[in-house]
Amino acid sequence: MGRSPCCCHDAGVKKGPWTEEEDRALVEHIQRRGGHVGSWRGLPKASGLNRCGKSCRLRWTNYLRPDIKRGNFTDDEERLIISLHAALGNKWSTIATHLDGRTDNEIKNYWNTHIRKKLLRAGVDPVTHQQLPPAPDHHLNGASVPAALLPESLLWAAAAATLGGGLDAGAIMQAQLLQQLLHAIGSNNATTNLIANLAAANAMPNILLQDQMNMLSSTGANFLQQSYLCNVSNFPEQDVVQAQQQLISNTTACPGTTSSAGAEQAAAPVSRDVSPAVDQTPAPVGEFDGLLEPMMEMPNLYSLESSDSFWMDILEDSYRL
DNA sequence: AAGAGTACCAACCGCCAGTAG
DNA sequence: CCTACTGGCGGTTGGTACTCT
């Protein structure tokens, strides 16, 4: 398994930007071979290019390949990238397999130059997808609100809303949840694939999402689908801020769906009723319907003791994949 | 107008896993 | 089993274009 001497170190091998002539020579050579390259190492000599084989492969796969889609990323693509990154991390090549016509290099560049900054602006750590340590105060519609009163799920949703395209915070939260499960138990390929599928599914339109969830219903996805019912991304994003204010006024957190919140959350039954605890004024009918859905009980994320069959059942399901 | 700073992205570099001999 | 080789991956760099002062 020793390192190979790379032809790139050969004296006289050209580096730097490719010229049109070089591009043409490479494309024609590969087309002559019916699109089959064979050995990249031998390609430069066979095609008459004074380039390293590695450089030829890179140029072909990242730029000259006929199935490459060029142009700006769509909102859907961006959402999908974020969801997949939350689940997979910097596995650019894996992420690229979920986006038709996009290369790992292109996605990586787009992440580093666009998405990463958007997430940072939104107060989200682009590496961990956790919210960054909050500023002393949050200002919502002019009102200064202690950060401690903001449920983590709302911080995520606010970050999602800040991203403009309506990032599916639910997808990220699902991925986070599964990541934490995997951290607790170790990982395997099946569960990694599950995460990728979930992330991909959640970047799709809702109707497709439902299909995906049905498909995965035997895997624990059914649980996750329910678990993020209380996530604010499930109702119109313009309601996020209103929901935040509503919850702040209630000082009632949406429980059990997040890492730190999950860790701190007691395993006691939780109430989905976010109707005002102090302020008895009911929310306008329909405005927070999503919050009023019955929610299943979410035990403490870290309570994986033998008595806690809840999580064990989910994990077993995922391993059956 | 010009210099500085920033953003973007193609391309490079080094490492790693798979595999043939 | 070991070694050499190859392709692929992720991190990084450097050149260019654009924006700001």
- Distance in Å from B7's C1' to A71's CA comes to 17
Which candidate, A186, A215, A182, places its Cα nearest to that of A200?
A215
Q: Residue at minimal CA–C1' distance from C13?
A: A16
The token pair at A321 is 């994949």
In which residue are the tokens 């089959």 written? A36
What is the number of other CB atoms lying within 10 angstroms of the CB of residue A228? 23
d(CA A290, CA A302): 27
How does pLDDT run across A31-87, given as a tens digit for each residue?
A: 888 878 878 888 888 888 888 888 998 899 888 888 888 888 888 899 899 989 988
- Distance in Å from C4's C1' to A46's CA comes to 22
Weakest-pLDDT range from A93-107, A125-139, A209-223:
A209-223
Is the Cβ atom of A4 within 7 Å of strand C at any atom? yes
Is the Cβ atom of A40 within 7 Å of strand B at any atom? no
Element (H, E) at A143: strand A143-146
Is the Cβ atom of A116 within 7 Å of strand C at any atom? no
Q: Render A49-75 in DSSP notation, one character per residue.
A: --B-HHHHHHHIIIII-TT---SPPPH
Sign of the four-CA dihedral A203, A204, A209, A215: negative
Q: Give chain A's end-to-end CA distance (angstroms, integer).
A: 33
What is the number of other CB atoms lying within 10 angstroms of the CB of residue A235? 19
Residue A193: band (very low, low, confident or very high) from pLDDT cuts 50, 70, 90: low
Is the Cβ atom of A135 within 7 Å of strand B at any atom? no
Is the Cβ atom of A57 within 7 Å of strand C at any atom? yes
Weakest-pLDDT range from A85-94, A116-125, A140-149:
A140-149
Q: Render A256-317 in DSSP notation, one character per residue.
A: SSSHHHHHHS-SS------S-SSS-PPPPTTTTHHHHS-------TT--STT-HHHHHHHHH
- Distance in Å from B1's C1' to A32's CA comes to 52
Mean pLDDT of A234-261: 35
Is the Cβ atom of A90 within 7 Å of strand C at any atom? yes
Complete domains list, chain A, with CATH = 7-64 (1.10.10.60), 75-319 (no CATH)
The pLDDT value given to residue A250 = 38
The pLDDT value given to residue A11 = 61
A95 close to A107: Cβ distance less than 8 angstroms: yes
The pLDDT value given to residue A321 = 34
Is the Cβ atom of A65 within 7 Å of strand C at any atom? no
Q: Is the pLDDT of residue A235 over 80?
A: no
Q: Residue at minimal CA–C1' distance from B14?
A: A3
Q: What HEC string does A84-124 produce?
A: HHHHHCCCHHHHHCCCCCCCHHHHHHHHHHHHHHHHHHCCE
Residue A10: band (very low, low, confident or very high) from pLDDT cuts 50, 70, 90: low
Is the Cβ atom of A109 within 7 Å of strand C at any atom? yes
- Distance in Å from C6's C1' to A171's CA comes to 38
d(CA A183, CA A263): 14
d(CA A290, CA A229): 7
Is the Cβ atom of A54 within 7 Å of strand C at any atom? yes
Amino acid at A55: S
A81 close to A73: Cβ distance less than 8 angstroms: yes
Residue A231: band (very low, low, confident or very high) from pLDDT cuts 50, 70, 90: very low
d(CA A228, CA A174): 7
Q: What is the DSSP letter of A131?
A: B
Chain B: positions less than 7 Å from a protein CB are 7-19
- What SS3 class is residue A140? strand
Q: Output A17 or A255, whichever has higher pLDDT.
A: A17
Q: Is the pLDDT of residue A113 over 80?
A: yes
Q: Output A289 or A153, whichever has higher pLDDT.
A: A153
Mean pLDDT of A202-228: 37
What mean pLDDT is reported for chain A?
A: 58
- Distance in Å from B6's C1' to A293's CA comes to 47
Weakest-pLDDT range from A6-10, A98-102, A201-205, A277-281:
A277-281
Chain C: positions less than 7 Å from a protein CB are 3-12, 15
The pLDDT value given to residue A107 = 92
A147 close to A153: Cβ distance less than 8 angstroms: no
d(CA A201, CA A176): 15
- Distance in Å from B10's C1' to A287's CA comes to 48
Residue A254: band (very low, low, confident or very high) from pLDDT cuts 50, 70, 90: very low
